[in-house]
Amino acid sequence: MNNVLFAFGLTLFAGLCTGIGSALAFFTKKTNTKFLSISLGFSAGVMIYVSMIEIFFKAKDALVAELGLKSGSWATVGAFFGGMFIIALIDKLIPSGENPHEVHSVEDINDKTSDPKLLRMGIFTALAVGIHNFPEGLATFISALQQPSIAIPIAVAIAIHNIPEGIAVSVPVYYATGDRKKAFFYSFLSGLSEPIGALIGYLVLMPFINDFVFGIIFAGVAGIMVFISLDELLPSAQKYGEHHLSIYGLVAGMVVMAVSLLLFI
């Protein structure tokens, strides 16, 4: 039970960081895009490294033990790319209306008049962010249950990339309504999909969990996190800073993840 509470707490922390993004949008005059670029690159580095070096091979070990070397290896690769396909399909079917990592501060559009269309855009962005965050919540939760030492950096990486999503949701809602509380509420709500994803994953999957199911889920989670890193985090990191800043952040994230894993050997 302690592991479950720890896993759920980590997932809740990561999801609710959309609220930090909303607060930053309202209380800072200008977004520090260079810092954001490095942070997003750092998140991508953590997620890519841990997915390819740690999670993928743990999934393979579990599946090989259940199915044998050849079948287990094929199942691991299939689940890995299956995870990519699932998140790509979600991305295709649920477009966000605006880039979830499109970062504005309140000062950036301070002279714009209220526009009801902005409310619709903000709500749809919140819905899209929520749906995209759902598998991230499951990924964080499953990782925390199986190996807490790798779950903490994953949760931090997801939390960092949720911050600009919170900004993207709250700013258009604020300019449509003039209500900071409502803007914060929608941003906060979009982040709740991560702990909801964790809760549903626990209720649905835990009764059936065994080495085979664990291997398939873990390989799929690795695919999901690599896709998110390549499709969302790195393009956004490069957009908001110099190309090299995002790469420096990427390498730093990999180094920190590598060292943190070595410390637990």
Please tell me whether 136 is known to bind a ligand.
Answer: yes
pLDDT score for 30: 54
Residue pLDDT, tens place only, 141-174: 877 877 777 778 778 877 877 777 777 777 777 7
Please tell me whether 101 is known to bind a ligand.
Answer: no
Please tell me whether 165 is known to bind a ligand.
Answer: yes
State the residue for tokens 């501060």. Answer: 105
Tokens of 69: 């070397």
- Between CA 182 and CA 162 the distance in angstroms is 18
DSSP assignment letter at 263: T
Please tell me whether 107 is known to bind a ligand.
Answer: no
Residue 244 has pLDDT above 90, yes or no: no
The mean per-residue pLDDT over the stretch 50-70 comes to 90
Cβ proximity of 208 and 70 under 8 Å: no
Please tell me whether 54 is known to bind a ligand.
Answer: no
SS3 call for 139: helix
pTM above 0.75, yes or no: no
CA dihedral 237, 126, 139, 240 (to 10 degrees): 0
Please tell me whether 162 is known to bind a ligand.
Answer: yes
